[in-house]
Structure 1
């Protein structure tokens, strides 16, 4: 009897154990399925990052740089690069797209180090971070088996803000670690980079983007985001950006958020970008033709009370007077010299009302003499 009871108990134990084991995977499968069925939440991304070029071939209006980088990616030697030019012309986007194509998404974090102006980039950072990263060796194959460059890439964005001591420490590192590391320096003003650095790099100037290219890109974004924008509004956006694609895309997103599900008009663009309407500029010029300081002071106060920036006012006034053929070259020279002085005073923190009055009084004197 004891043997039979032992057999029964072991059989019951095995049945219960098998039943419990059979139920565990089912619960795990349900748990995994439940995880997969959760809807993914799409986080909003700025359009500047969303529509940043992913490939070198997507870069617009920089033919020389694209030709050189395509040869480097295809297997040619990769030199140290120095990109300089106005902001918003695609300098950072170009080198990031080239890095993604060379190393792929798997090796990008291990092979590329990017330092921006927000990071401290004194001589201590160059000695610690840059030199340690440059001394590491790199393989010539990706994890998927495809060939890739045998070097690493260090991107120093806005390097014209680096100290002279940091730049001097960097030049020796560029020579010593040339077998394992390449450098890409990005700046707005090449005159702020020391000569030993520029002589070790292949220099490429990024030109301000043409208006047709910016207008075409804005129309593409409007079609992708279902934004109704008038033709005049897009032209005004392109006009106020001065070849800066980043600024144009940012302004377009701001206007689209202010007027959701509505047509973006020219007045909306003026409201967001801070552009002063031409009627206000015409009014100021007409007041300058009348020798009345009281009327001029009242008009300037009204314009500034509307919230218009003084710097924007003098820039638009400069462009307006430059196109006037009725004003002689001598009068324009005197007025533009005063505009330069007023602009410098505004940058130093001078009072906007006094500086605008000083400028317009000079304009009034030149008009009244003629």
Structure 2
């Protein structure tokens, strides 16, 4: 899944991107000046121009920072795509030296009750802070979709009362879990997963700054396991390097503790060759390693989706994977269902073409 022409193109594009933006993104710091600092914090962007990916949405935030006319904001998107970092960068650009006293940052998944809105948020909104003309205080709510409905209703009223002095910025994975009255008061911005090229470019920059020893296949494995999540990619890179001293594909999958995609691909290839016995041996090996059915299914779906098989076969395979996944989610025997899936995949191959 991470070799051949795709890897060559991805690496070439990533190297070019890394060279273009490394001056703006990387902070000058001696390698491992403080090895206790996680790389996700050490290399967290502080300016909107440093954020990787979602260029069109970031440009809208930059326009807000230039004009100073900022609405309430909801940023929705998958984990690790830069939602919270974007809001923090916007607050820094707007508030400058007043950032520390004029920003309240809360994680709504922990502080999700109505008391937090009534006490901490309301008290902060009432606080007097000297700011430049046309600037407001910022309340940043991370994982806002975890807030209870009662807390969201209280937040709606607070947003109305203090709209002249305070702006609210909400980051969430699913904007549909934010009540409609709050959504209607906010500019809703949507972030997408980062592309493999964008992840690779950032990993190359960090690897160079930290003097990380790596192989091309190792970095591609980090990108593969991250699935568009920059935070996951940097965590996996740091964990692999500090654990093994060398970033290779084998070491990455040991750290991430996912079924190795080459093993899962072997299992699929055996099914395509109508060799059920060999496919079952690979499945049993993965099972003996302690991987759950969910782990195996997740990797199996990704392998089938990107496999170079005929289109009609891919459609049938994905349909069967989805059906068996549903059965396992309903609580049926996992290993038996996985073995049954392999038999069904082999049966598809043995059917005569119509």
Q: TM-score range by the shorter chain?
A: 0.7 to 0.9
Whether 2:71 is the aligned partner of 1:79: answer yes
Whether 2:96 is the aligned partner of 1:104: answer yes
Q: In the alignment, which residue of structure 2 is the partner of 1:9?
A: none
Superposition deviation, residue 50 in structure 1: 0.7
Return closer, same or farther for 1:269/1:137 CA change in 2, 3 Å cut-off. Answer: same
Q: In the alignment, which residue of structure 1 is the partner of 2:348?
A: 366
Whether 2:272 is the aligned partner of 1:281: answer no
Return closer, same or farther for 1:199/1:318 CA change in 2, 3 Å cut-off. Answer: same
Distance in 1 (CA, whole Å) between partners of 2:157 and 2:47 is 32
Preserved contact between residue 103 and residue 148 of structure 1 (Cα < 8 Å): no
Structure 2: gaps of 5 or more residues: 1-32
Distance in 2 (CA, whole Å) between partners of 1:285 and 1:90 is 37
Distance in 2 (CA, whole Å) between partners of 1:289 and 1:66 is 48
TM-score, L = length of structure 2: 0.80
Whether 2:126 is the aligned partner of 1:135: answer yes
TM-score, L = length of structure 1: 0.77
3-state DSSP class of the match of 2:171?
A: strand
3-state DSSP class of the match of 1:155?
A: strand
Distance in 2 (CA, whole Å) between partners of 1:314 and 1:179 is 51
3-state DSSP class of the match of 1:45?
A: coil
Distance in 1 (CA, whole Å) between partners of 2:207 and 2:52 is 18
3-state DSSP class of the match of 2:193?
A: coil
3-state DSSP class of the match of 2:350?
A: helix
Return closer, same or farther for 1:280/1:325 CA change in 2, 3 Å cut-off. Answer: closer
Superposition CA RMSD, Å: 2.7
3-state DSSP class of the match of 1:235?
A: helix
Structure 1: gaps of 5 or more residues: 1-40, 141-146
Whether 2:347 is the aligned partner of 1:355: answer no
105, 109, 126: which one pairs with 2:117? 126
Superposition deviation, residue 167 in structure 1: 1.4
Residue by residue, what CA displacement relative to the aligned partner does 1:305-343 show, whole Å, maximum 9, x if unpaired? 1234433322333344345566563x6545423322433
Return closer, same or farther for 1:85/1:324 CA change in 2, 3 Å cut-off. Answer: closer
Superposition deviation, residue 346 in structure 1: 4.7
Q: Which deviates more, 270-279 or 213-222? A: 270-279
Q: In the alignment, which residue of structure 1 is the partner of 2:158?
A: 173
Distance in 2 (CA, whole Å) between partners of 1:158 and 1:339 is 31
Preserved contact between residue 138 and residue 150 of structure 1 (Cα < 8 Å): no
Distance in 2 (CA, whole Å) between partners of 1:184 and 1:83 is 8
Distance in 2 (CA, whole Å) between partners of 1:304 and 1:115 is 41
39, 48, 55: which one pairs with 2:40? 48
Q: In the alignment, which residue of structure 1 is the partner of 2:209?
A: 224
Q: How does 1:1-370 map to 2 (within 5 A)?
A: 42=34, 44-104=36-96, 107-140=98-131, 147=132, 150-260=135-245, 263-273=246-256, 274-283=258-267, 285-286=269-270, 289-290=273-274, 297-322=280-305, 329=312, 332-346=314-328, 351-370=333-352
Return closer, same or farther for 1:225/1:354 CA change in 2, 3 Å cut-off. Answer: same
Q: Which deviates more, 303-312 or 196-205? A: 303-312
3-state DSSP class of the match of 1:113?
A: strand
Greater RCO structure (CA 8 Å; 6+ sep): 2
Distance in 1 (CA, whole Å) between partners of 2:266 and 2:171 is 41
Distance in 2 (CA, whole Å) between partners of 1:69 and 1:202 is 11
Return closer, same or farther for 1:219/1:64 CA change in 2, 3 Å cut-off. Answer: same
User: Which protein is bigger by CA-based radius of gyration?
Assistant: 1
| Paired residue total | 319
